[in-house]
Chains A and B, each alone.
Chain A
Amino acid sequence: MFIDARNLPENKIIMTDVCIIGAGAAGITLALEFIDQPFQVCLIESGGLQFDKKTQSLSEGENIGVPYWPLDESRLRYFGGSTNHWGGWCWPLDEIDFETRDWVTHSGWPFRKSHIESFYERARIICKLGPFDYDVENWESEKVPRLGLILDRVITKIIQIRPISFGQMYRDNIARAKNISVYLHANVLEIETNDAAKNVIRLRIACLEGKKFWVDAKVFILATGGIENARLLLLSRKVQTAGLGNQNDLVGRFFMEHPHLFSGIFMPSDPNFPTELYTGFGKVNDTIFLGALTLSEDTQRRESLTNFSATLGRSDQYPDWFQSLRILRREISQGELPDDFLRHLKNVITEIDQVWLTAHKRLLQGEWYPLKYYYIYNRTEQVPNPDSRVTLSSQRDSLGQNRVRLDWRLSKFDKSSIRRASEIIGIELGRAGLGRLKISLDEDDTSWPPSLTGGGHHMGTTRMHIDPKKGVVNENCQVHGISNLFVAGSSVFPTSGHANPTLTIVALTLRLADHIKAIMT
């Protein structure tokens, strides 16, 4: 059932068993799992069923660190959350991502990958993906082969791509569920606890139009995304003045993204070499997929590097004389002379040897401009960094709440690791005789190229650790010290790997859902 919270009576107290805050990938997955369970569920969503500018403005905030997307553009605030603009890229984290690695500070999850394999299998059904299989041998074909590298220092992995809006896909399932009530246009202002801050008692909620109400539940699950989860805990400071769960000053710290950037170009020795696996979107049994070059776990260990992936983007480069020749030919064939006729003529005449060579090659060997090369685009792991963080800004939103301030920070190691990984790829491409790679990252590890951006992957701000001094939530995603408050989503990731986070978000959420079901039944 969907309820417009703006129509509720003022100061109404809604009594329920489980309250989920946020209807994005995590919140909707929880709701789906709770359908027909023997307990009542309340799902609170800030927005409505469609995008609304005023609601979206609640996500505005300050960026004071590495240049980043405006905060109201890198996430969405209506039913379905950020899956409403999600690209649908899915792949799991690697085994090594869960390990404690002495070269990656603050690394290590409370469990191994094998622990969540079964949840990944369930997650792929929710994400409408093909089989849980990311090994290239099961996706490549004779026409679309992987790059034939000699050693396994660099390997190809598969990304499955299925952009779905969880809001649209699962709206009807949730609407039909008898035990689930979705409250739209409902903005949680504060999570209120008892005096000892051991239990959450209720949520204080408001609509943009001013209506206020409360939700009283046995269990609360925060699922508002990697930035908003931290913000809401920091805003809930009536009892714990530093913010809820923030007794060890960890809430909002360790913000991680996947640095996305162009790191160089690859020029194949054979211009006709098939690179479609890495540049196009293949399709097998309705599953769209793309290949990416990654470092093997062994290479990461041996070289002490972070996890890394690279896809290729094709580009064709035409020299000036070629462009000029084309313009001259086109204009003259229409009986006209182009603007800058003399410049174009000069371009052709001064490079007449190239014109001749190209024509010669074209006639005799069938080769033709442009030179074929590929941009290397990276999506990489960021080392957890306590100084990379989300805090509260002094600016206020239209509900009077402190806006968020993001200070995304990257380390020298983050950059040097990408550069070394690129170098390894260049060496392996050369070793296999496949071509040459140019790394465009400079040697100054304190600066980043203008192409640097994030993927809208907000992670780490309520990180998971069994030790309350090292993590905000425990291995069950329960906020340390608060018995009935849980966190879902990528904010609990202790490390990020290089893989897009949604599949892991859903897998971890399914694991949490099982835990909650066990508690409630």
Chain B
Amino acid sequence: MITSGQVNRRDFLSTLLGTSVLLILQPFRTVARMGSSDCPETIAEQLSNFFIHKQSAEMIGREYVTLRPNESARTLLNELIRSFELHRFSMSGRIDTKELRNFLAIKQRQDFELSRIVNIKGWILSETEARLCALAALI
């Protein structure tokens, strides 16, 4: 439980566990519900619900927004939809959970390969996972 402006270790660990493990498991259900007519706001809410400990994610997200104040919720959302290729998943009408799991893991690794990295309170994070947290904080 976050009780102050500090991101404590346990919360951070919980959140990272959420982003790196549960994040990869939870979306299958989430994305499966997405239709081509889903509005971005709904997608945003669903993306921001990836986390098992949303308050921690929001805390990380707020730090990210402080680091990059130019990234609004809309910018973040568009970027995440583009980078996750969510439309591709939803348009096809068939959600391959294994493919999505692999895809998200690849996105995180690509971030590290391409130096799309952010340092939030010392944590070396992929931009994608930090943006997800930011989205959770902003919507």
Chain A residues with CB under 8 Å of chain B are: 264-265, 267, 269, 317, 319, 350-351, 357, 371, 373, 423, 426-428, 430-433, 435-441
Contact with A along B104-139 (1 / 0, CB 8 A): 010011011101010101111110000000000000
Residues of A within 8 A of B1 (CB): 350-351
Known: A350-B1, A438-B123. A431 touches B20 (CB 8 A): no
* Residue in A267, A428, A435, A436 with the greatest tally of chain B CB atoms within 10 Å: A436
Q: How far is the CA of A432 from the CA of B112 in the complex (A)?
A: 9
Q: B73 near A: Cβ within 8 Å?
A: no
Contact, CB under 8 Å: B21 / A265: no
Given A427-B117, A438-B123, A439-B119, answer yes or no on A433-B109 (Cβ-Cβ < 8 Å).
Answer: yes
CB contact between A426 and one of B12, B115, B124 (< 8 Å): that residue? B124
Can you give 10 A-B contacts (C-beta < 8 A)? A264-B122, A265-B9, A317-B13, A351-B1, A427-B112, A430-B108, A430-B126, A431-B109, A437-B123, A439-B123
Do most interface residues of chain A lie in helix, strand or loop, or is the interface mixed? mixed
Interface size class of B (residues with CB under 8 A): 20 to 34
Within B1-47, the residues touching A (CB, 8 Å) are 1, 9-10, 12-14, 16-17, 20-21
Q: How far is the CA of A488 from the CA of B113 in the complex (A)?
A: 47
A436 and B20 within 8 A (CB): yes
Q: Which residue of A lies closest to B110 (CB)?
A: A431
Cβ A317 vs Cβ B124 within 8 A: no
B123 nearest CB across to chain A (Å): 5
Contacts of B52 in A (CB 8 A): 357
Distance (Å) between the CB of B49 and the closest chain A CB? 14
Give me the 9 closest cross-chain CB pairs, A-B, nearest first. Answer: A426-B124, A431-B112, A430-B112, A439-B122, A438-B122, A438-B123, A371-B13, A269-B20, A437-B124
- Tell me the complex Cα distance, A500–B101, Å: 44
- B124→A319 contact, CB < 8 A: no
Known: A317-B9, A435-B20. 10 other contacts (CB 8 A): A264-B122, A267-B17, A427-B112, A427-B115, A430-B111, A433-B109, A436-B123, A436-B124, A438-B124, A439-B122
Q: How many A-B residue pairs have CB under 8 A?
A: 62
Known: A265-B9, A423-B124. A371 touches B17 (CB 8 A): yes
Q: Is the CB of A423 within 8 A of B119?
A: yes
Query: Contacts A427-B117, A430-B108, A433-B109: A438 and B21 contacting too (C-beta < 8 A)?
Result: no
Instruction: Evaluate contact between B105 and A433: CB separation under 8 angstroms.
Output: yes
CB of B109 to closest CB in A, whole Å? 6
Chain A residue numbers with a CB within 8 Å of B20 are: 269, 435-436
A430 with B13: CB separation less than 8 A:
no
Q: How far is the CA of A433 from the CA of B20 in the complex (A)?
A: 9
A351 to B1, CA, bound (A): 8
Query: Cβ of A350: which chain B residues have Cβ within 8 Å of it?
Result: 1
In the complex, A436 Cα to B14 Cα: how many Å? 12
Compute how far the CA of A428 lies from the CA of B119 in the bound complex, rounded to whole angstroms.
Answer: 14
CB closest chain-A residue, reference B13: A371
User: Which residues of B, 89-114, contact A by the 8 Å Cβ criterion?
Assistant: 105, 108-109, 111-113
Q: Which residues of A contact B121 (CB under 8 A)?
A: 438
A430 cross-chain contacts in B, Cβ below 8 A: 108-109, 111-112, 117, 124-126
Q: CA A357 – CA B123 in complex, angstroms? A: 25
In the complex where A427-B117, A433-B105 touch, is A371 in contact with B123 (Cβ < 8 A)? no
| Minimum distance in angstroms from B82 CB to a CB of chain A | 21
Q: What residues on A are CB-neighbors of B9 within 8 Å?
A: 265, 317, 438
A364 to chain B, nearest CB (A): 12
Which A residues lie within 8 Å of B105 (CB)?
433
User: A258 CA to B101 CA in the complex, in Å?
Assistant: 43
* B24 to chain A: closest residue by CB: A269
Chain A residue nearest in CB terms to B53: A354
**CB contact between B124 and one of A269, A351, A433, A439 (< 8 Å): that residue:** A439
The docked-state distance in angstroms from the alpha carbon of A162 to that of B14 is: 39
Query: When chains A and B are docked, how far (Å) is the Cα of A340 from the Cα of B108?
Result: 44
CB neighbours of A435 from chain B (8 A): 20
Residue of B nearest to A442 (CB): B122
B109 touches A373 (CB 8 A): no
| CA of A265 to CA of B16, assembled, Å | 13
Q: Which residue of A lies closest to B11 (CB)?
A: A319
CA distance A440 to B124 in the complex (A): 11
Closest-CB distance, B20 to chain A (whole angstroms): 5
Please give, as numbers and ranges, the residues of chain A lying within 8 Å of B113 by CB-CB distance.
431
Q: Please, which residues of chain B bring their CB within 8 A of the CB of A267? A: 13, 16-17
Query: B21's closest neighbor in chain A, by CB?
Result: A269
Question: Which B residues touch A438, using CB under 8 A?
Answer: 9, 12, 121-124
Across the interface, which residues of B come within 8 angstroms of A436, CB to CB?
A: 16, 20, 123-125
